[in-house]
Amino acid sequence: MKKNRAAAFSAGIPWWLVLLVGLGSISVGTALADESYRVIFGAVARGFGVTMTVAVVSYAASLFLGLLLGLARASRLRPLREASTFYIELVRGLPMLVILYYIAFVGAPALAGVLNALLAPLIGMGAIPAFQSRNFSFATRAVLALTLGYAAFIAEIFRAGIESVDKGQVEAAHALGMSHSQTMLRVVLPQATRNVLPALANEFVAIIKDSALVSVLGVQDITQIGKVYAASTFKFFETYNVVAFFYLCLTVSLSMLVRALERRLNKASSR
């Protein structure tokens, strides 16, 4: 009897979390005790803002673009559907790193060229200077690349969400005289979004991790600062410990929030 209760108690404990928090506390403890760790912490922390900005801005923009693409994918209009499927398949078939290089070194010059062509009269008059690739900072290019890449994943999530809504809901809305757009906006999308909320939140965790890719463009995020610091001090072990610690703090806590959200939604819909 007593043994059973002990077993149940231990089964309720998320041991992986205990281990993670333990390791986290040990590393923080070591860091505070150790002068060189304190310095590394301070250095890498300077990249925290850049990492978060890149992640949050790219995520917000890709939510918006992904919603539009997802709606187009579920549209009744064939050209819209085809165009959005084309984009999604193209982008999902590329490694994120390649998208990043492509936008940074092909997309940015191309964008400058397009802007120059569009604004040619103004530039000719000397009202504004001609655009050059270097007008777009690497951070901007990185955000653009992550946005374009993640929009494709998020579009697929929205599409799945739209398809998960019972067809009877659409019929009922139509039978009440609602137009297609009213039905989508008032009946389908609210339910679809709710159904895919956990999946959307998981994409935020994923984009935080993928934001480390921007370091290849020299953007000063956590990873880039760590890379440069380690290379100049040869303290690879300590530096990458700190870098990993920063990412884990973000991702593990966010994943736990997503799980709590999921549990809440499940409870609400089974009530």
Partner 1 sequence: MSAFIRISDAVKTFGDPDSGGVRALDGVSLDVAKGEVVLVIGPSGSGKSTLLRVVNRLERLDSGEIWIGDDSVTARRADLRRIREDAGMVFQSFNLFAHMTILDNVSLAPRIVRKVPAAQAREAAARLLERVGLSDKLDRFPRQLSGGQQQRAAIARALAMNPKALLFDEPTSALDPEMIKEVLDVMTALAEDGMTMMVVSHEMGFARAAADRVVFMDRGRIVEQGTPEELFSDPREERTRDFIRHIL
Q: 36 vs 169, which CB is nearer to partner 1? A: 169
Indicate which single residue of 106, 114, 128, 172 sits in contact with partner 1 (rule: CB under 8 A).
172
Contact set for partner 1, span 45-104 (CB under 8 A): none
Q: Which is nearer to partner 1, 75 or 193 (CB)?
A: 193
Q: Which is nearer to partner 1, 126 or 168 (CB)?
A: 168
**Contacts with 172 (C-beta within 8 Å, 6 or more apart), sequence order:** 187
Q: Which of 35, 175, 234, 237 binds partner 1 (CB under 8 A)?
A: 175
Determine the interface stretch with partner 1 among 38-46, 115-123, 181-189, 219-227 (rule: CB under 8 A): 181-189
Q: Is 179 in the site for partner 1 (CB under 8 A)?
A: yes
- How many Å apart are CA 68 and CA 63, to the nearest integer? 9
> From residue 189 to residue 218, what is the string marking binding to partner 1 with x (rule CB under 8 A)?
-xx--x------------------------
Distance separating alpha carbons of residues 36 and 169, to the nearest angstrom = 61
163 binds partner 1 (CB under 8 A): no
Q: Does the footprint of partner 1 cover residue 164 (CB under 8 A)? A: no
User: Is position 137 an interface residue for partner 1 (rule: CB under 8 A)?
Assistant: no
Burial category of 129 from C-beta neighbours within 10 Å (exposed 0-12, middle 13-18, buried 19 and up): exposed
- Which residues of the shown chain bind partner 1 in the complex (CB under 8 A)? 166, 168-169, 171-179, 182, 186-187, 190-191, 194, 269, 271
